[in-house]
Amino acid sequence: MRLVKHPNIVQLHEVMATKAKIYFVMEYVRGGELYNKIAKGKLKEDAARKYFQQLISAVDYCHSRGVYHRDLKPENLLLDENCNLKVSDFGLSALSDCRKQDGLLHTTCGTPAYVAPEVINRKGYDGAKADIWSCGVILFVLLAGYLPFHDTNLMEMYKKIGKGQFKCPNWFPYEVRRLLSKILDPNPNKRISITKIMENSWFRKGFDDKSKRSEIGKKEMVPPVDIDAVFDCSDSNNSEEKQEPGGKQESAKPTNLNAFDIISLSAGFDLSGLFEESEVRKEARFTSRQPAVAIISKLEDIAKRLRLKVKKREGGVLKIEGTKAGRKGVLGIDAEIFEVTPSFHLVEMKIANGDTLEYQKLWKEDVRPALKDIVWTWQGESHYLPEQQLQQQQQP
């Protein structure tokens, strides 16, 4: 928030701390949430356009500073005493430095009805394009008084989002319909950019960007805080490495699963069919009651036996690679460990590079059978306990 000084963003004035608490001194915004206005019914076109212009102006500025909000919705848009919009709640925001090696963000977060399909897909996403999608949903809500993607069944709602299935009411102007179709494009590569939105004829009606630039220029006089000196910009939780007694370095703690992760990893909510045409499974998931250290040790033992190399990364991620090139280069397998609870983990293993057939043969004949000692259940398979294990659990 110290990085984004903009007239349409709630300002952070000061941060103070005691040993027990952190205090944020923020701008006082008197008008409440924009959501309260929408709850009374749809807005008139001019009012909706004004709020959308202010939202896009604020989001565009955030992106120019490398800040991605990731939870844009009417509840997080406040109004001041002059009914000007103020973006708030940067609790789920990320910085450009938080992107992984592929240049994308990977934390699944946001509010289901406003979240972009690529965020649900868990394959990595561009923070700017995901924010643009949320802005499109907000514009629809402002003009319609209800959500474009809505269903009592969460799975059905995600399907609609994944396919970009929505219908504009008959009172929407033609220009708005065309603009929304470009913003709510499920393909992020084809989705309209903020620059193009700001060039749109409907958007530009009454938009005074010169005065905005003047106000922003005045606020830029305040030097931004050195964010790297205050925060560790990791997009995954618990990325620090611990030092064991004797100087041995322990691998980083596995990433915690949030509610979105649990939903998207559930077999019943598998949305891969919405995004992938291939019928060949290139990943497998299993749960384990073993600690993360034991799971990593097991994977290292299997790799050693199969003469594969193992590289450890932050957040409970292992890279397993072959030593010889196959038909399509060196085979690579990514294994990532997620913590559901301290005593219950989910492991995802998938091909990263190399030949798919080679991977499937290795997986079926060598890797999967060798994992049986630590697997509690495979995803998509009903769980059962061997008789011996059942008897042990029944003993006092």
Q: Roughly what angle, to the nearest 10 degrees, separates helices 45-64 and 209-219? A: 40
Q: Roughly what angle, to the nearest 10 degrees, separates helices 127-144 and 174-183? A: 150
238: left (phi over 0), alpha (psi -120 to 50) or beta: left
Q: Which amino acid is at 19?
A: K
Q: What are phi and psi of 23, to 5 degrees?
A: -115, 130
Report the sign of the C-alpha dihedral through residues 118, 119, 121, 124, in that order: positive
Q: Which helix (H) or strand (E) holds 22?
A: strand 22-26
Residue 20: CB atoms within 10 Å:
5
Is residue 286 within 8 A of residue 344, CB to CB? The reply is no
- Please provide the size of the chain in residues: 396
DSSP secondary structure string for all residues of 333-357: EEEEEEEEETTEEEEEEEEEES-HH
Residue 179 structure tokens: 């603009």
* Long-range interactions of 390-395: CB distance < 8 A, separation 24+: none
What residues have CB less than 8 Å from 163, skipping those under 6 apart? 186, 274
Active site residues: 71
Give the span between the Cα atoms of 208 and 48, in whole angstroms: 16
119: helix, strand or coil: helix
